[in-house]
Chain A
Amino acid sequence: MYWEKEIETMARPALRDLQLERLGETIAQAKKSTYYSKLFQEKQLDKLTVQSLEDLKKFPFTTKDDLRSHYPFGFAAIPLQQCVRLHSSSGTTGNPTVVLHSQADLDAWANQVARCMYMVGLRSTDVFQNTSGYGMFTGGLGFQYGAERLGALTIPAAAGNTKRQMKFILDFDVTCIHAIPSYAVRLAEGFYESGLDPKKDTKLTTLMIGAEPHSEEQRKRIESLLGVKAYNCFGMSEMNGPGVAFECPEQNGLHIWEDYVIAEIVNPVTLEPVADGEIGELVLTTLQREAMPLIRYRTRDLTRFIPGTCSCGRTHRKIDRFKGRSDDMIILKGVNIFPIQIEKILMQFKELGNNYLITLETVGANDDMLIEVELSDLFTDDYSVLQRLTKQITHQLKDEILLTPKVKLVEKNSLPQGEGKAVRVKDLRNNT
């Protein structure tokens, strides 16, 4: 049931002691890099010894921009000769980011991924096919090493070529796949188009999905199409890659491995911790990294801690399915609002379609929010129903975001298709 029972089920106080010990080591290690040694001196943190986990708050945040502006090796804490791997993520603006690994770092990462995979039922008798891109995309090598560490027969099928993927799944009795959600759907369609039923004609039982935002409905759909259990995974190249957090068999939130990272959730504007259970930006501090420790790295990903304990017995806290990016946050009349909060409410109404547009505008002296949302096919001929619907939506939104938006029903397909989050929000406010 557990890959590392002692660590996974460790009592919280013991886990915190372990974190504190490793935090001290991490800070000492970070000081060996040019970036942190200079920073710690500037902030007069170089003499500080951490006494408690609270002391971490004295350290400044590290951002992706910091990584970029100290490209390529400003964060290296060991000589390059001792590094064995370099991953780089392409930057659309400016320099890319670089992440360095020692052999010990790669071993720790493989163990972390193996722990995740074991948690959702993968065993050494399983056959695992990885449909991630290899190369710089960490979902390739990350899952490869993790599955091998676990002892599963591992097929580095890499991305694309659905016909070949299907052939492998059938011929090699593949039981477990890692795929991005949209590709899992594509694979299922591939089987059905060839007259096969993946539920009967394959040995698939488990799917690991991540790297792409997806709803619970999408997960359920993928599960029923392929006849598998699908588990969410979370990672990012700055934190090695996959394996940072992973769903357990409860399928309700992702355990974040607190022996590998210290996780904080902060308000992206004030950078103060949010109340337990509230949405904010995930901030991570590495605890076992040798080549490139990161202190309070702002992930830009929005999530929340799920309060309470998990019936799977693991004591590492759970974070919720990702809620979008902190860059998407709206501040209106001093209230912080995430588009995902609005989306969540809108999706509860079956009368509404998938598209919506949030417009922020200045009306007179006030800043207002207009939410246009498309109707679905379930259109009624009755005015009072439409008006009641508008009222209900407004009311529920008010409960969620604490402001009263103006809600407008619009025709289907009249709004821009929601590809990126950016097109969901239009800010027309007068700058003050």
Chain B
Amino acid sequence: MTIQQISVFLENKFGRLHEILSLIANDEIRIIAATVSDTSEFGILRLVTTDPHKTFQILKNHQISSNISEVFAIVTDRNSGQITQTIEHFTQAGLSIEYMYCFSTSKAGFLILRTNNLEAARNVIRRASLVCVDQAHIADL
């Protein structure tokens, strides 16, 4: 039900994002989605790639502080109001969204999100019959 997301600690330093992406991007790894968030002190780069374990290994080999975590990639159709409806399920179950980023292809929309409770989120997804992409199918997107 979940996919693996790579998070990278980023100092607010010119050129650092480019440096890190250059390490990862190669013929075998494709970046599906990425987001950078920042505070005044530091940033976190979050990545969904076709091979999270290899991505993580590359970062480790370069001694970059990074982390691999489970997030949901929920599929929505392209009609208006879909994101709102999806989030509503979580809110009604009393779950908070810690972060979320979205992207869409010509066929569907995707919400990558993490809540404050992984197990409870699984139940919400099951009950609401939301569709999730799993890691094996990430490369097909």
B67, A381: Cβ atoms under 8 Å?
Answer: yes
Instruction: Assess A379 versus B67: contact at CB under 8 Å? Given A410-B11, A411-B11, A414-B11.
Output: yes
- Contact: A408 with B67, CB < 8 Å? no
A381, B69: Cβ atoms closer than 8 Å = yes
Q: Which of A20-28, A156-164, A382-390 contacts B (4 or more CB under 8 A)?
A: A382-390
A142 to B15 alpha-carbon distance, docked (Å) = 55
Are A379 and B63 in contact (CB-based, < 8 A)?
Answer: no
**In the docked arrangement, what's the CA distance between A381 and B47, Å?**
11
- A375-B65, A412-B63 are known contacts. Are A381 and B46 too (CB-CB below 8 A)? yes
Given contacts A410-B11, A414-B11, contact A381 B44 (CB under 8 A): yes
Chain B interface residue count, CB cutoff 8 Å, equals 21
Q: Which of A21-39 contact B (CB under 8 A)?
A: none
The CA-CA distance from A410 to B10 in the complex, in Å, is: 8
B window 2-60: CB within 8 A of A:
5, 7, 9-11, 16, 37, 39, 41-42, 44, 46, 60
**In contact, B98 and A379 (Cβ under 8 angstroms):** no
Contacting residues, chain B, for A413 (C-beta < 8 A): 63
A386 touches B65 (CB 8 A): no
Interface size, chain A (Cβ < 8 Å): 18
Are B67 and A412 in touch, CB under 8 angstroms?
no
A383 contacts B11, C-beta separation under 8 Å: no
Q: A411-B64, A412-B64, A412-B65 are in contact. Are A379 and B9 (CB under 8 A)?
A: yes
Q: Which residue of B lies closest to A384 (CB)?
A: B98
A18 to B38, CA, bound (A): 66
- Residue of A whose beta carbon sits closest to that of B99: A383
Q: Mark B89-126, 1 if CB is under 8 A from A, else 0.
A: 00000000010000000000000001000000000000
Residues of B within 8 A of A379 (CB): 7, 9, 65-67
CA distance A412 to B66 in the complex (A): 10
- B57 to chain A minimum Cβ distance, whole angstroms, is 13
**Chain A binding surface, main DSSP class:** loop
The contact of B10 among A381, A382, A411, by CB within 8 Å, is: A411
What is the bound-complex CA distance between A412 and B60, given in angstroms? 11
CB closest residue in chain B, given A390: B41
A411 B46 Cβ-Cβ under 8 A:
no
| Min CB–CB distance A359 → chain B (angstroms) | 15
Q: State in angstroms the CA–CA spacing of A408 and B39 once bound together.
A: 12
Across the interface, which residues of B come within 8 angstroms of A414, CB to CB?
Answer: 11
In the bound complex, how far is the Cα of B65 from the Cα of A376, in angstroms?
A: 7
- Chain A residues with CB under 8 A of B66: 379
**CA of A390 to CA of B5 in the docked complex: distance in angstroms?**
24
Interface centre among B9, B11, B98 (most CB of A within 10 A): B9
Q: Inside 8 A of B5's CB, which chain A residues have their CB?
A: 381
- Residues facing B in A372-429 (CB within 8 A) are 375-377, 379-383, 386-387, 390, 408-414
Taking a contact as CB atoms closer than 8 A, the residue among B10, B39, B60 that contacts A383 in the complex is B39
Residue of A377, A383, A390, A408 near B44 (CB, 8 A) is A383
Tell me whether B42 and A386 are in contact (CB under 8 A): yes
User: Cβ of B65: which chain A residues have Cβ within 8 Å of it?
Assistant: 375-377, 379, 411-412
Which B-chain residue is minimally distant from A353 (CB atoms)?
A: B65
Q: In the assembled complex, how far is the CB of residue A276 from the closest CB belonging to chain B, in whole angstroms? A: 40
A408 close to B41 (CB less than 8 A):
yes
Q: Which residue of B lies closest to A377 (CB)?
A: B65
Q: Which residue of A lies closest to B71 (CB)?
A: A381
Complex interface: chain B residues within 8 A of A383 (CB): 37, 39, 44
For the complex, give the distance between the alpha carbons of A412 and B10 in Å: 10
Known: A379-B7, A381-B7, A414-B11. A409 touches B67 (CB 8 A): no
Q: List A contacts of B60 (CB < 8 A).
A: 377
Q: Which of A349-369 contact B (CB under 8 A)?
A: none
A269 to chain B, nearest CB (A): 33
Would you mind naming 28 contact pairs between A and B with Cβ atoms under 8 Å apart? A375-B9, A375-B65, A376-B65, A377-B60, A379-B7, A379-B65, A381-B5, A381-B7, A381-B46, A381-B67, A381-B69, A381-B114, A382-B98, A383-B37, A383-B39, A386-B42, A390-B41, A408-B41, A409-B9, A409-B41, A409-B42, A410-B11, A410-B42, A411-B9, A411-B10, A411-B16, A411-B64, A413-B63
By Cβ-Cβ distance, the 7 closest A-B pairs, closest first, are: A381-B7, A379-B65, A375-B65, A379-B67, A412-B65, A381-B69, A413-B63
User: Which positions in A face B, CB cutoff 8 Å?
Assistant: 375-377, 379-383, 386-387, 390, 408-414
